[in-house]
């Protein structure tokens, strides 16, 4: 059963990963020294870091949470409207280059099928970016039933990402947060086996097989990456370079969601390269940033999974104080937690 501390932890640490990770987004190499310097500047009030602003990752996750709460369940029209409205109110949050077209079309009052703009992307192939996955955590909190988490994370992602390599990344991220909320990370090998079992089914469908074939990926691309994670977990030493070459650190969901999951698993124990004083959420976010690439999004996703496991009480106040949108995340988590325990949400 989910604890409220875990729910708070998930949404708050997701926001922290986004805000703190924004510093290095797109950097090819990020020395751990620079990461630790950035993180220690958050503790130092005299340095006046100011408020670190959240990006598209959090902007869209807020829309998901608000929509699930207001509609007490998944309503694609309401969620689409919120994405469009948020984008037009704050277009400079660092959105993906392609998704902007979808968000503009979603604001049209003439639009009947809210899934159509996403289907039109990339010559009809749809986006495989990680924009569906980066905002998936609220689905994990809202629905007690795993099949609902999968179904609604999929539909919520389809509003912008119609390629299975995009929306299945969202399904995987929501599953990882959901299982973590229930304490599944206490047994890391079982956690990864469970994700493989679920994704075997998810990636077994016709559309997923077709997309994987067209994009020349493995038959079940996310399952294949989860197997790679299992192999890496069993190794005594793994370098950052190996993680990047095996799992990736890019903007595609396939090159970032499994990476985020690995970051969490790798940081379950203290690591030599990280300060001993760090708790689990701190280790996970620091390690995610050191991979470089899509750091705000990988840290946001890893943060949500780790925050669900360790809970809000392990997160330093100095980090919480300097990130935009943390109070709201805290409130959304509490309200989603209450809904989860009240009655099953429907679609």
Residues near Mg ion (CB under 5 A) are 55-57, 94, 294, 296-297
Q: What are 162's two structure tokens?
A: 């119609």
Q: What are phi and psi of 52, to 5 degrees?
A: -85, 125
Q: Minimum CB separation from ligand F2R for residue 341, in Å?
A: 31
Count CA within 13 A, CB hemisphere, residue 186. Answer: 4
d(CA 177, CA 158): 19
CB of residue 79 to ligand F2R, shortest distance in Å? 15
345's enclosing H/E stretch is none
Q: In this complex, which beta carbon is closest to Mg ion, that of residue 3 or of residue 53? A: 53
Give whichever of 214 and 273 is closer to ligand F2R, judged by the CB atom: 214
To ligand F2R, the closest distance from the beta carbon of 269 in angstroms equals: 28
User: What does 99 bind: ligand F2R, Mg ion, none (CB cut-off 5 to 8 Å by kind)?
Assistant: ligand F2R
Smaller CB distance to ligand F2R: residue 137 or 181? 137
Closest to ligand F2R by CB, 14 or 280 = 14
User: Residue 250 is encoded by which pair of tokens?
Assistant: 């890019």
Closer residue to ligand F2R (CB): 25 or 217: 25
Report the distance separating Cα 263 and Cα 250, nearest Å.
14
Two tokens, residue 127 = 């986006």
The two structure tokens encoding residue 63:
């829309």
Q: Smallest distance, Å, CB 187 to ligand F2R?
A: 31
The footprint of ligand F2R (CB under 6 A) covers 25-26, 55-57, 94-99, 122, 125, 127-131, 134, 163, 251, 294, 296-297
Indicate which of Mg ion, ligand F2R, none lies near residue 76 (CB less than 5 to 8 Å, by partner kind): none
- Residue 198 touches which member of Mg ion, ligand F2R, none, C-beta under 5-8 Å by kind: none
Smallest distance, ligand F2R to C-beta of residue 294, A? 4
With beta carbons less than 8 A apart as the criterion, state whether 82 and 63 touch.
Answer: yes
Residue 129 interface partner, choices ligand F2R, Mg ion, none, CB cut-off 5-8 Å depending on type? ligand F2R
- Give, in degrees to the nearest 5, the angle at Cα 300 between 299 and 303: 75
Distance CA 43, CA 315 (A): 12
- In terms of C-beta distances under 8 Å and separation of at least 24 residues, what long-range contacts does 232-237 make, across chains too? 232/262, 232/266, 233/188, 233/189, 233/192, 233/262, 233/265, 233/266
What is the smallest separation between the CB atom of 25 and ligand F2R, expressed in angstroms? 6
Strands (E), 211-347: none
Nearer to ligand F2R, 163 or 339 (CB): 163
Q: Are 71 and 344 in contact (CB under 8 A)?
A: no
Q: Packing angle between helix 257-266 and helix 221-233, nearest 10 degrees?
A: 20
Q: What residue 79 binds from Mg ion, ligand F2R, none (CB within 5 to 8 A, per partner kind)?
A: none
97 binds, among ligand F2R, Mg ion, none (CB under 5 to 8 A by kind): ligand F2R
Of 29 and 231, nearer to ligand F2R (C-beta) is: 29
CB 22 → ligand F2R: shortest distance, Å? 7
């Amino acid at each position: 059963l989910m604890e409220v501390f875990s729910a708070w932890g998930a949404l708050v640490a997701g926001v922290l990963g986004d805000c703190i990770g924004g510093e290095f987004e797109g950097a090819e190499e990020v020395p751990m020294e620079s990461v630790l310097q950035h993180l220690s500047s958050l503790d130092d009030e005299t340095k006046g870091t100011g408020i670190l602003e959240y990006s598209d990752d959090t902007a869209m996750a807020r829309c998901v949470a608000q929509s699930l709460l207001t509609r007490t369940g998944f309503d694609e029209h309401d969620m689409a409207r919120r994405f469009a409205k948020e984008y037009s109110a704050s277009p400079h949050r660092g959105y993906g280059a392609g998704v902007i077209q979808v968000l503009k079309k979603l604001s049209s009052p003439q639009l009947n099928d809210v899934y159509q703009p996403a289907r039109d992307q990339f010559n009809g192939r749809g986006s495989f970016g990680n924009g569906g996955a980066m905002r998936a955590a609220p689905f994990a909190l809202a629905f007690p039933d795993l099949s609902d988490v999968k179904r609604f994370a999929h539909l919520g992602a389809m509003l912008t990402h119609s390629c299975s390599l995009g929306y299945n990344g969202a399904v995987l991220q929501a599953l990882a947060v959901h299982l973590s909320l229930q304490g599944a990370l206490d047994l890391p090998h079982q956690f990864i086996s469970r994700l493989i079992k679920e994704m075997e089914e998810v990636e077994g469908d016709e559309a997923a097989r077709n997309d994987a074939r067209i994009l020349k990926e493995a038959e079940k691309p996310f399952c294949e990456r989860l197997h790679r994670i299992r192999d890496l977990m069993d190794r005594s030493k793994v370098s950052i370079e190996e993680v990047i070459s095996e799992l990736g650190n890019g903007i595609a969901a396939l090159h970032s969601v499994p990476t985020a999951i690995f970051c969490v698993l790798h940081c379950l124990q203290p690591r030599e390269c990280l300060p001993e004083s760090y708790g689990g959420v701190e280790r996970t976010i620091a390690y995610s940033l050191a991979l470089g690439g899509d750091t705000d999004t990988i840290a946001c996703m890893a943060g949500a999974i780790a925050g669900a496991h360790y809970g809000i009480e392990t997160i330093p106040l100095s980090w919480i104080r300097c990130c935009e949108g943390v109070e709201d995340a805290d409130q959304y988590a509490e309200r989603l937690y209450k809904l989860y325990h009240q009655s099953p949400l429907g679609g």
